[in-house]
Amino acid sequence: MADTTDNKVTGEANSVPRKSSWRYIGPGIVVAATGVGAGDLVATLIAGSNFGYTLLWAAVIGCLVKISLAEAAGRWHLSTGSTLFEGWASLGRWTTWFFAVYVVIWGFVYGAAAMSSSALPLQALFPDVMDLEWWAIACGLVGLVFVWFNKYAVFEKVMTVLVGVMFVVTVYLAIRVTPNLPDAFAGLLPVLPDEKDSILNTLGLIGGVGGTITLAAYGYWVNAKGWTNTGWMKVMRLDNRVAYITTGIFVVAMLFVGAELLHSADVAIASGDKGLIQLSDILEEEYGSATAKFFLIGFFATSFTSLIGVWHGVSLMFADFVARYRDRGGAAGSGQEVATGSRERSWPFRAYLLWLTFPPMVLLFQGQPFRLVIIYGVLGAAFLPFLAGTLMWLLNTSRTPREWRNGPLSNAMLAIAGLLFLVLCVKQIWDQPWSEFF
């Protein structure tokens, strides 16, 4: 039998708290840290640069939408005692095929992107040490070793420290640029910019706030923490709110920076992670090298938390996927099994860790294959509509105990999320250069 001491299952899972408490918070910090990557900060920064405070309301709505998705995933795990993949498998074999294709292709391309994103601030801080590709490889290897040899408890503590760094840096920058608070409060009113494609740009900002597959991983982190039954439901909901309040602070702070530092000076930056390097140069000109270096440290914390978060969370999901496939109808898909920590020592967990780390290194030197990038974009765009739709299905049927099924508010939020992500998915598919694909 698997040892249950690593993740404190015997202590935490069986001694259910009488009420929710801040001292239990953990998985929410992990999902916030993983979900907010450099790309999210750049997207918000560009929104602030282009539209000032006009789309502040969209960033707030984005956090509310993601709260509903993560809460639904956590509620499924706690109310049924089963993992999310166990639920997906009950909907038909098509879910298995979708997840299998998605997790293989997505992991290959994302691995390279995550390593490069973590490497950029390190190269800027230490320009004469080594090339970007080697910094990226070093980040990937450090992430691999860290996740390979540590269990959830240590992983959560390190993520919490890095989130603290992210928080201090982003809030400091927001205060440093002296935000116009009356304009910021006005930005909470739902107004669309007077621009072409403003609706789609706004939906993109809402959909881009904090996480894709990490929302599905939240339930697995809830179980890994040792929360495996409905006694932890109030704690999970508090934890989830903390996650997206934290995410909201990061996003709003970067929108303030974009509005004050870039919009007012009519300065444009590149999309993608390199936009944050440009921001570092602008900060150095405006506030000095100390502020620029401080920002780069925060940039690294943002990127590296996303890297190790995916290395851990998606590997945990993949391990559950393999266990469910090998042991159909058994106890493989139970939250209690995840809570023992045995998944983190399993060969599928470590095999997916290796898949995220080594094959993507080829892309660091050769560039990303055109057709693969298109497929990656389509699968990535399709994942959140898949997640929202399947959660609605699972949480409104007899698969979930009646007490914990969706109410009107949950259904409304998941429906809004599903429609939002479906529109963004269709747009992403439409925008792909399919004529060049064949």
Q: Which residues contact 76 (CB under 8 A, 6 or more apart)?
A: 82, 84, 87, 219, 391, 394, 395, 400
Q: How confident is the model at residue 196 (pLDDT cuts 50, 70, 90)?
A: low
Give dist(CA 335, CA 329) in Å, integer: 14
C-alpha distances in angstroms, 221 versus 60, 77, 248, 311?
A: 24, 10, 21, 13
Of 144, 165, 147, the C-alpha closest to 156 is 147
What's 343's DSSP letter?
A: G
Closest CA to 70 of 275, 279, 313, 299: 313
Give the pair of three-digit tokens for residue 71: 């809460």
- 410-433 pLDDT tens trace: 999 999 989 988 888 888 888 888
What average pLDDT is seen over the chain? 87
Q: What is the pLDDT of residues 367-405, one digit of tens each?
A: 767 777 788 778 878 899 999 999 999 999 999 999 999
- The pLDDT value given to residue 5: 36
Which amino acid, residue 50? N
How does residue 94 score in pLDDT terms, banded at 50, 70 and 90?
Answer: very high
Res. 332: pLDDT tops 60: no
Check pLDDT > 60 for residue 279.
yes
pTM over 0.85: yes
Query: What radius of gyration, in Å, describes the C-alpha atoms of the chain?
Result: 21
